A and B are shown apart, each in its own frame.
Chain A
Amino acid sequence: MPVDIGNYIALSTVMFFIGVGGVLLRRNPLIMLMSIELMFNAANLLFMAFARAWLANAGQVFAFLVITVAAAEAAIGLAIVVSTFRDEKNVDVDEIRLMRG
């Protein structure tokens, strides 16, 4: 039997805000990246849910796009983290202020 769309929305919202909290509250960049990933997947879940609900394929296509972008983003993010760690011997995002204007 089909699950009600409201459940998906609720789950997605919870996942998204867990992600937001992770980005805002944690200081470890790896955890922050994982939190961002969580937000992406919250969005993906919504795409899939609505695609199923409205029988439209565009949502599924977008989900693939998001997965690709997320992979690229993670690769770059990790590369930045690694190179920063090499220079600074430290991965606390509050200590690293290379981007100060």
Chain B
Amino acid sequence: MSGGQHAMGVDGSYPLLIALWLLPLGGAILCWAFGPQLKTRAGWVACAAMAASLFLTALSWGAGTQAAGGLLGAHQALLSWIPGSFDFGLLLDPLSLLWALIITGVGFLIHFYSMGYMDGDRAYARFFAYMNFFVFAMLTLVLSDNFVGLLIGWGLVGLASYFLIGFWFDRPSAVAAARKAFVINVVGDVAIMFAIFAIVATVHSTAFGDAFAATGAYGPGLLFAICVGLFVGAAAKSAQIPLHTWLPDAMEGPTPVSALIHAATMVTAGVYLIARCAPLWDASPSAQLLAGSIGGLTAIVGAILGCVQWDIKRILAYSTMSQIGYMIMGVGVGAYAGGVAHFFTHAFFKAQLFLAAGLIIHALANEQDVRRMGGLRTKMPFAFWAILTGVLSICGIPFFSGFFSKDAVIYGALAHGHPWLYAVGIVTAGLTAYYMFRLLFVTFLGSYRGDVDPVELGMRGAALPPAPAAGGHAHAHAPAWIMNAPVGILILPTVAIGAALMAGGEGSPWARYFAPQFAAQTLPPAPISEIATSLIVLLAVAAGFAVAWQRYAAKNAQANAVVRLRDESLRMPALLTNLFYFDAVIDLLFVRTSQLFGTLVARVFDPHVIDGAVRELAEIARSTGTLVRSLETGLLRAYALILAFGAACFIVYYALAAGGLR
């Protein structure tokens, strides 16, 4: 550990970390610089970089989990800006190892899938360059051993997200969405910067080890301010209220991007940040209350908004927002292992859902509105089964992966003394079941509605051309297995990884893995047991399922699908179609206000007030000049006379002065 006084990591040097960190960057540079030469081989280059990075990460398992003398994991020092206070290094401990595995593992699958999904795009190589760059940035974020390195990764993933949301940059909607995502993320960046200022001002170092060793040095007010700064950063990146509005718009990007960045990895960076800064959070109960409450609020608001969306990717986006709300709630209240577990399972099942949705979108030539789908179960059985497993997992059906992690979060809220958040978690579970099964039923049951006039389905705006028949191919595609294989592989963890790792409470492999990472907590016994909690959640899920079944899957609902969907579209309350007016309020409060201020100063204050004052000065100079000018008659002899008079005055003065002296 260079500089700082509190070392992290058992190994002073673990160069393999540098390799696994920089490999994706190398892939990105290759794809970017030699894109025209590589053509479709760019996809293989990117995948190879990912595979190599994944391999090295897996190889580092032992180094990442080692523990000796109170130190945990492996460390590698990098360069230093100002030795002692701005040092950089890489740290692989159980927490960052978990994230690195998900980033490279799920990332590899999604890269592979993209080779099929992006096939034929004119900027194929550029896409893989951005994707690889994203992975590099995300690894920077999770592997950094200090706040500034984390912030650099934080900013760079924002950039990668910006590039990929605006990937099809001739669409104005994509361009606007990209800018919105970036600016909101910068709000988060500067909040983290503020926290860094406070930390550096107190401990004169940015290293995690130094910052966490001295939680007592901050004082409760400053500690709360630091946590709020970090939390605003987490909220912006992880789409927590009120900084969530960019995430649904971010669905403008290609679907693999939504799967990798806006579901599995980047948006969970906030969870990572809070888990990483657990010592700070543990020391500040008011910050825990704030983070937990915002997480719970986001979970339920995201779920409500997910119920009223029609765009398949937006439904999934609000569901992501809601699920991250769960995670933030979990790590926020102090149930770190639970919140992180939900990140872990969510990465699989949400990637699975997005990639399967991508199969549909791809087959229907970019149709994303579920009202124009329907009846796809027979035409796309693979996609149906894939989405079904994802839905079962996200709803927390027993023994699917989501069951273990979600219940851990909900129970964790109660165990840490937040009954309200517990209730919110249960209600949200019911809502989740409703909107996920709604998605499943509307998309796959009934009959295909791609040829129905959009107006009849209640879609507003100009009539769209009918979507091609299901399964139709607009252009030649890469072999189907390239896209199907990753989805198939993801089914396995979606279904089983929770049961494999998290079953068994304190004795589970999961609990043992994280035991050295997070400080042991002694909690008073909760009024409701874990088993009872699971049953209550299951009841809520059953209720949500029943409503969805009654509305979309029952016999008569399927028969009158077109009329029902139109009625639902047209009768939606304005509060929900306007998404609780978050966008409008933010726009009015910040965007319009600063634009108005800018117009005022640039068009009014500058030219009229400041330049007005300057013009007044010029006017004084000019009038003085006019006055003096009247003396200049142009008559030569008048000048001579004035000269002579002046000379005479001098002579008289000196003569008198001389007389006075004498």
Q: Tell me, yes or no, whether A1 is within 8 Å of chain B by CB.
A: no
Alpha-carbon separation in the docked complex, A12 to B376 (Å): 123
Task: Identify which of B631, B637, B640, B644 contacts A101 (C-beta below 8 A).
Answer: B631
CB pair A94–B635 under 8 Å, yes or no, is yes
Q: Tell me, yes or no, whether A24 is within 8 Å of chain B by CB.
A: yes
Alpha-carbon separation in the docked complex, A98 to B632 (Å): 11
Q: Tell me, yes or no, whether B641 is within 8 Å of chain A by CB.
A: yes
Task: Identify which of B633, B641, B644 contacts A97 (C-beta below 8 A).
Answer: B633
CB pair B633–A100 under 8 Å, yes or no, is yes
Q: Tell me, yes or no, whether A93 is within 8 Å of chain B by CB.
A: yes
Q: Tell me, yes or no, whether B660 is within 8 Å of chain A by CB.
A: no
The distance from the CB of B261 to the nearest CB of chain A, in whole angstroms, is 74
CB pair A99–B632 under 8 Å, yes or no, is yes
Q: Tell me, yes or no, whether B630 is within 8 Å of chain A by CB.
A: yes
Alpha-carbon separation in the docked complex, A100 to B635 (Å): 7
Alpha-carbon separation in the docked complex, A101 to B638 (Å): 13
Chain A contact residues: helix, strand, loop or mixed: loop
Q: Tell me, yes or no, whether A66 is within 8 Å of chain B by CB.
A: no
Q: Tell me, yes or no, whether B629 is within 8 Å of chain A by CB.
A: yes
Q: Tell me, yes or no, whether B636 is within 8 Å of chain A by CB.
A: yes
Q: Tell me, yes or no, whether B634 is within 8 Å of chain A by CB.
A: yes
CB pair B635–A97 under 8 Å, yes or no, is yes
Nearest CB in chain B to that of A29: its residue: B636
Q: A20-B644, A24-B641 are in contact. Are A96 and B630 (CB under 8 A)?
A: no
Q: Tell me, yes or no, whether A23 is within 8 Å of chain B by CB.
A: yes
CB pair B640–A97 under 8 Å, yes or no, is no
Alpha-carbon separation in the docked complex, A6 to B632 (Å): 40
Q: Tell me, yes or no, whether A27 is within 8 Å of chain B by CB.
A: yes
Chain A residues within an 8 Å CB radius of B631: 101
CB pair B637–A97 under 8 Å, yes or no, is no
Alpha-carbon separation in the docked complex, A94 to B637 (Å): 7
- A80-101 interface code vs B (CB 8 A; 1 in, 0 out): 0000000000000110111111
Interface size on A, residues (CB 8 A): 14
The distance from the CB of B258 to the nearest CB of chain A, in whole angstroms, is 77
Which residues in chain A, 2-32, are within 8 Å of chain B measured between CB atoms? 20, 23-24, 27, 29, 32
Chain A residues within an 8 Å CB radius of B634: 96-101
Alpha-carbon separation in the docked complex, A25 to B632 (Å): 19
Task: Identify which of A20, A23, A29, A101 contacts B630 (C-beta below 8 A).
Answer: A101
Nearest CB in chain A to that of B625: its residue: A101
The distance from the CB of A30 to the nearest CB of chain B, in whole angstroms, is 13
Chain A residues within an 8 Å CB radius of B636: 29, 32, 93-94, 96, 99
Nearest CB in chain A to that of B630: its residue: A101
The distance from the CB of B193 to the nearest CB of chain A, in whole angstroms, is 61
Chain B residues within an 8 Å CB radius of A23: 637, 640, 644
CB pair B632–A24 under 8 Å, yes or no, is no
CB pair B637–A24 under 8 Å, yes or no, is yes
Alpha-carbon separation in the docked complex, A16 to B438 (Å): 115
The distance from the CB of A3 to the nearest CB of chain B, in whole angstroms, is 25
Alpha-carbon separation in the docked complex, A27 to B635 (Å): 11
Which residues in chain A, 51-101, are within 8 Å of chain B measured between CB atoms? 93-94, 96-101
Which residues in chain B, 595-633, are within 8 Å of chain A measured between CB atoms? 628-633
Chain B residues within an 8 Å CB radius of A27: 637
CB pair B641–A101 under 8 Å, yes or no, is no
The distance from the CB of A76 to the nearest CB of chain B, in whole angstroms, is 15
CB pair B637–A93 under 8 Å, yes or no, is yes
Chain B residues within an 8 Å CB radius of A98: 634
The distance from the CB of B651 to the nearest CB of chain A, in whole angstroms, is 11
The distance from the CB of B494 to the nearest CB of chain A, in whole angstroms, is 92
CB pair B633–A24 under 8 Å, yes or no, is no
Alpha-carbon separation in the docked complex, A94 to B633 (Å): 11
Chain A residues within an 8 Å CB radius of B644: 20, 23-24
Chain A residues within an 8 Å CB radius of B635: 93-94, 97
The distance from the CB of A35 to the nearest CB of chain B, in whole angstroms, is 10
Q: Which of A23, A29, A32 has the largest number of chain B CB atoms within 10 A?
A: A23
The distance from the CB of A77 to the nearest CB of chain B, in whole angstroms, is 11
Chain B residues within an 8 Å CB radius of A94: 635-637
- B555-596 interface code vs A (CB 8 A; 1 in, 0 out): 000000000000000000000000000000000000000000
Chain B residues within an 8 Å CB radius of A93: 635-637
Alpha-carbon separation in the docked complex, A99 to B635 (Å): 8
Alpha-carbon separation in the docked complex, A80 to B633 (Å): 19
Nearest CB in chain B to that of A36: its residue: B640
Nearest CB in chain B to that of A23: its residue: B640
Q: A94-B635, A97-B635 are in contact. Are A24 and B640 (CB under 8 A)?
A: yes
The distance from the CB of B274 to the nearest CB of chain A, in whole angstroms, is 77
The distance from the CB of A81 to the nearest CB of chain B, in whole angstroms, is 11
Which residues in chain B, 630-662, are within 8 Å of chain A measured between CB atoms? 630-637, 640-641, 644
Alpha-carbon separation in the docked complex, A51 to B644 (Å): 27
Chain B residues within an 8 Å CB radius of A24: 637, 640-641, 644
The distance from the CB of B479 to the nearest CB of chain A, in whole angstroms, is 91
Alpha-carbon separation in the docked complex, A23 to B645 (Å): 13
Alpha-carbon separation in the docked complex, A93 to B635 (Å): 7
Nearest CB in chain A to that of B640: its residue: A23
Alpha-carbon separation in the docked complex, A93 to B637 (Å): 7
Alpha-carbon separation in the docked complex, A32 to B636 (Å): 10
Chain B residues within an 8 Å CB radius of A29: 636
The 4 closest A-B pairs by CB, nearest first: A101-B632, A100-B634, A97-B634, A101-B629
In the complex, 29 of the A-B residue pairs with CB atoms within 8 angstroms, ordered by the A residue number, are: A23-B637, A23-B640, A24-B640, A24-B641, A24-B644, A27-B637, A29-B636, A32-B636, A32-B640, A93-B635, A93-B636, A93-B637, A94-B635, A94-B637, A96-B634, A96-B636, A97-B634, A97-B635, A98-B634, A99-B636, A100-B632, A100-B633, A100-B634, A101-B628, A101-B629, A101-B631, A101-B632, A101-B633, A101-B634
Having A97-B634, A101-B634, one finds 19 other A-B pairs with CB under 8 Å, namely A23-B637, A23-B640, A24-B640, A24-B641, A24-B644, A27-B637, A29-B636, A32-B636, A32-B640, A94-B635, A96-B634, A97-B633, A99-B636, A100-B632, A101-B629, A101-B630, A101-B631, A101-B632, A101-B633
Residues of A within 8 A of B (CB): 20, 23-24, 27, 29, 32, 93-94, 96-101
